[in-house]
Every structure is written in structure tokens, then in C-alpha cells.
Amino acid sequence: MLEGDTAVYLRGPGQIRRGDNKYICSPADADQLNNLTEDPRELRNLAVSSAHAEMLQSFRDQVASGWDLKRRSRYPLVK
């Protein structure tokens, strides 16, 4: 994990918090990316925004580097 990240896994999708941003990854659903300060109710999925493509890719790269989405055994618990 990167400095300042918080990751959570609770028998389902995993999430990473980086500052105001929250990324949710699940094999069953589309990626979700939210800015919790600007959108605390998480109504706008920034993962579909080209303006957030670099940030989204950074989160995806982190997941690809260490999360086993099939077994889910390598998801970290709350840091």
C-alpha cells in the first residue's frame, strides 16, 4: 500500500482510501471512484470520467500488484 492509504476487505469488494478519494474494486461490479469531500453521498462515479483516468489507473495498478481478486485472501484488513 502507498503511504497514507487505508484498505478494507469485508467478504466482498475491497476499497482503498487516498485522501478524499475512495476506490472500490469488485470482480462482480464496475469500478467506483468517488471524492468523499465533494460528493459525500457517493452519487457520482468518477471512474467514468476521462479527467480522473490517471488516478483510476493508479488505484487499478495497486490492486493488480497485490490483490488476489479470485481468492480474496490477500486483501488487507483495515490498516
pLDDT digits (tens, 9 = 90+) for 5-54: 555 444 456 788 899 999 998 877 899 999 999 999 999 999 999 999 99
Segments forming the whole domain that contains residue 58: 6-66
30 falls within a domain: yes
Q: How far is CA 19 from CA 35, 37, 74, in A?
A: 9, 9, 23
Provide the whole-model pTM.
0.72
72 falls within a domain: no
74 falls within a domain: no
24 falls within a domain: yes
**Per the structure, how many domains does the chain have?**
1
* CATH number assigned to the domain comprising residue 14: 3.30.1120.10
pLDDT score of 78 more than 80: no
Reported as type and span, the H/E element at residue 64 is helix 53-66
Question: Residue holding cell 457520482?
Answer: 44
